């Protein structure tokens, strides 16, 4: 097994003190910062960035929620307050490029901040990783995933909202894995049940939980791995897999985790 990579994560404040400007700002997001399961996505992505010698920084304690859940839940005042705070911080540091592993943060920063004065190049981590692969800064070998059946769940905010379908799939294929599509995929993808701030509220009456419906579709593909590109999707799908007593047979992993594991980082 390879020796673990030792790395240092600099904040923008530390970068400024060193008179340095990073290539990208890694926007971690609330889930990637505070949810124990989603923290593993953050760690995996940081390991890849270090392996590829990408010069990056984070905001650290200066990063706040984008305001996405507040806006989806109908509290426009809170959204605009959070957005104004973040835009002021980002502009003060002269941030130009932002990479995030959360499609919710991605969509809000990219499509909703400009009207409030926040104009940045915002990149989802799967697209950024695809760029690293294409440029030769990282190489991906299947390893434990070679020949494994992997199905990919399209995040609503990544897929239908922003037309990003290919990058995650190309990265899975680079693992020499067998990509198995669910019947509802790409533009016809099915929500995990977390979007629109639904993850923070009780379920409404219905015949079946949305996340259970999606988990059943994933299980039906016969895949041993469900790949996700959103921390909220991952949380919901893992819940569905556990409720179907399939947690020992099927793993839900973010694209960054798959790549980091394949590289033994």
Give the chain's mean pLDDT: 92
pLDDT given at position 2 = 47
pLDDT of residue 181 exceeding 70: yes
Residue 142 neighbours by CB under 8 Å, 6+ apart: 175, 176, 177, 262
Asked if residue 7 is part of any domain, the answer here is no
pLDDT digits (tens, 9 = 90+) for 123-179: 999 999 999 999 999 988 767 898 899 999 999 999 999 999 999 999 999 999 999
Q: Answer yes or no: are the C-beta atoms of 63 and 57 closer than 8 Å.
A: no
Give yes or no: residues 144 and 171 share one domain.
yes
Sorted by sequence, the CB contacts under 8 Å of residue 27 that are 6+ apart come out as: 58, 59, 63, 98, 99, 100, 102, 105, 109
Residue 212 is assigned to a structural domain of this protein: yes
pTM value is: 0.92
Q: Tell me the residue range of the domain where 230 lies.
A: 140-262
Chosen domain end from 107, 130, 153: 130
How many structural domains compose the chain?
2
Same domain, 192 and 85: no
Q: pLDDT: is 231 or 5 the higher one?
A: 231
- In this prediction, residue 48 carries a pLDDT of 96
Say yes or no: 80 and 121 in one domain.
Answer: yes
CA distance 69 to 1: 41
Q: Which pLDDT does position 140 carry in this prediction?
A: 85
Measured distance CA(157)–CA(149) in Å, rounded: 25
Nearest CA-CA partner of 100 in 41, 144, 159, 174: 41
Given 130, 162, 181, which residue is the final one in a domain? 130
Confidence band of 208 (pLDDT split at 50, 70, 90): confident
pLDDT in tens, 126-135: 999 999 999 9
Per the CB < 8 A criterion, the answer to whether 93 and 12 are in contact is yes
């Amino acid at each position: 097994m390879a020796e673990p990579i030792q790395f240092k994560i600099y904040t923008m404040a530390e970068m400024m003190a060193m008179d340095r400007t990073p290539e990208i700002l890694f926007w971690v997001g609330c889930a990637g910062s505070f949810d124990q399961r989603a923290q593993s996505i953050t760690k995996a992505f940081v390991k890849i960035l270090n392996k590829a010698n990408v010069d990056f920084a984070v905001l650290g304690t200066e990063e706040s929620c984008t305001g996405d859940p507040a806006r989806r839940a109908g509290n426009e005042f809170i959204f605009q307050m959070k957005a104004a705070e973040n835009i002021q911080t980002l502009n003060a540091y002269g941030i130009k490029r932002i990479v995030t592993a959360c499609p919710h943060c991605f969509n809000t920063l990219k499509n909703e901040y400009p009207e409030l004065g926040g104009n940045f190049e915002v990149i989802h981590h799967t697209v950024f990783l695809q760029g690293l692969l294409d440029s030769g800064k990282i190489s991906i070998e299947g390893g434990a995933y070679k020949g494994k059946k992997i199905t990919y769940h399209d995040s609503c905010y990544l897929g239908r909202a922003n037309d990003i379908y290919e990058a995650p799939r190309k990265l899975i294929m680079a693992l020499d894995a067998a990509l198995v599509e669910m019947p509802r995929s790409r533009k016809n993808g099915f929500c995990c049940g977390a979007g629109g701030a639904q993850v923070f509220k009780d379920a409404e009456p219905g015949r079946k939980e949305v996340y259970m419906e999606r988990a059943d579709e994933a299980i039906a593909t016969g895949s041993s791995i469900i790949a996700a590109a959103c921390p909220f999707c991952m949380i919901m799908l893992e819940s569905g897999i556990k409720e179907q007593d399939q947690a020992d047979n099927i793993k839900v992993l973010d694209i960054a985790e798959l790549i980091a594991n394949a590289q033994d980082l």
